[in-house]
Amino acid sequence: MEEKTMPQTEAEWLERLGPERYRILREKGTERAFTGEYYDCHADGVYRCAGCGEPLFGSGAKYDSGSGWPSFYEALDKTKIAEHEDESHGMRRVEVTCAKCGGHLGHVFPDGPQPTGVRYCINSASLDLERKS
């Protein structure tokens, strides 16, 4: 996958992503549970940011959390994921975004499996799986 140039305006982001991905990545939306492309995906490969192409998660750290969203117990490189306190919707959560493009990915929770004990709960629409061939 080649490096993508970064959109400069929201109009350019909308054109690149289309309405559904734009709503999630740029407007911090959430796809409905059990509807995304990857929640039940078991293919090997690298999950890249759907906004900018940055490699974020590996299939080796993906597990079935039962939540209806793709779940990972670790990122490929923690510095590529930014964390933000999120108190929207009457909950106290930690939002995760792509450190490179700022796209909203999902949230991280302290209830994941070992060895990390964390659960990155990520929207399928925020990801592009590069399958290992």
Element (H, E) at 22: helix 10-25
Q: Output Rg (C-alpha) for the chain, integer angstroms.
A: 14
Choose the catalytic residue: 49, 52, 101, 121: 121
Comparing CB distances to Fe ion, the nearer of 56 and 121 is 56
Distance CA 43, CA 27 (A): 28
In whole angstroms, the minimum distance from the beta carbon of 21 to Fe ion comes to: 11
Specify the pairing of strand 127-131 against strand 45-49.
antiparallel
Burial state string for 31-66 with b = 16 or more CB within 10 A and e = fewer than 16: beeeebebbebeeebbbbbbbbbbbbbbbebbeebe
In whole angstroms, the minimum distance from the beta carbon of 122 to Fe ion comes to: 12
Comparing CB distances to Fe ion, the nearer of 54 and 73 is 54
**Are 54 and 98 in contact, with CB atoms under 8 Å apart?**
yes
Using CB under 5 A, list all residues that contact Fe ion.
49, 51-52, 54, 98, 100-101, 103
Comparing CB distances to Fe ion, the nearer of 54 and 128 is 54
**Is 101 designated active site?**
no
In whole angstroms, the minimum distance from the beta carbon of 100 to Fe ion comes to: 5
Residues known to be catalytic: 121
